[in-house]
Amino acid sequence: MELNLAPKFAQKIFEGEGGTYYSWSSAEYELLKEAKVGGGRLVLQPRGFALPHYADSNKIGYVLQGRCGVVGMVSPKASEEVVLKLKEGDIIPVPYGAVSWWYNDGDSELVIVFLGETSKAYVPGEFTYFLLTGTQGILGGFSTEFNSRAYNINNEEAKKLAKSQTGVLLIKIPEGQNMPQPCKNSSDKLVYNIDAALPDVHVQNAGLLTALTAKKFPFLREVGLSATLVKLDANAMSSPIYAADSSVQVIYVAKGSGRIQVVGINGERALDTKVKAGHLCVVPRFFVASVSADGEGIEYFSMITTTQPVFGEFTGKTSVWGALSPKVLQASLNVGPEFEQLFRAKIKKSTILVPPQN
CB atoms within 10 A of CB 115: 27
Q: Identify the pLDDT of residue 83.
A: 95
> How far is it, in rounded angstroms, from Cα 157 to Cα 309?
51
pTM, rounded to two decimals: 0.95
pLDDT in tens, 78-100: 888 999 999 999 999 999 999 99
pLDDT at 78: 84
- pLDDT the model gives residue 185: 67
Q: What is the pLDDT of residues 308-319, one digit of tens each?
A: 999 999 998 889
pLDDT in tens, 83-142: 999 999 999 999 999 999 999 999 999 999 999 999 999 999 999 999 999 999 999 999
Query: Which amino acid appears at position 255 of this protein?
Result: K
Amino acid sitting at position 353:
L
DSSP labels, 57-122: SEEEEEEEE-S-EEEEEE-TT-SS-EEEEE-TTEEEEE-TT-EEEEEE-SSS-EEEEEEEE-TT-S
- Ranges in the chain, pLDDT < 70: 1, 185-187
Q: What is the torsional sign of CA 44, 47, 51, 54?
A: positive
